[in-house]
Homo-oligomer: A and B are copies of this chain.
């Protein structure tokens, strides 16, 4: 029986190895999920990466976070956190201040407008997540989360 992924990619030959099929399955699933999140966020004028930043900053609270701390908490590696935050600052969703004793640090905090945007997004995003993955049920979701964590053990961290 050809695999589900094979059919999705219109591929005639089976995969060379289970490892390879798993690699492509992860990439495919991430692309599909990310695409639907991007579509859902589009009406609000932000990208999944920007949404991720805003959630990180909401989690950090009033203290805020410096640039590198934000960058290291993001799901995907971003090589240019400065201009990512520039754009969010220009939209008024975050604010930056060089207000620590160590003058090298620039603290970024989510603004009232950023919190308001996240507030408007919380419900639709939760519904989206449920619609996308809810059918798996708690048991399978927990297994999936565990297996993915185990999968990440095999490679060096994103550094």
Contact = CB atoms under 8 A, between A and B. Distances in A.
Copies of chain A in the complex: 2
Given A133-B22, A151-B144, A27 B28 contact: no
A59 to B, nearest CB: 6
Q: Is the interface of A mostly helix, strand, loop or mixed?
A: helix
A72 B9 CA distance: 7
A141 interface: yes
A129 B59 contact: no
B23 A33 contact: yes
Interface string A7-41: 01111110011111111111111111111110000
Interface in A88-136: 126, 129-136
Contacts of A140: 147, 150
A140 to B, nearest CB: 6
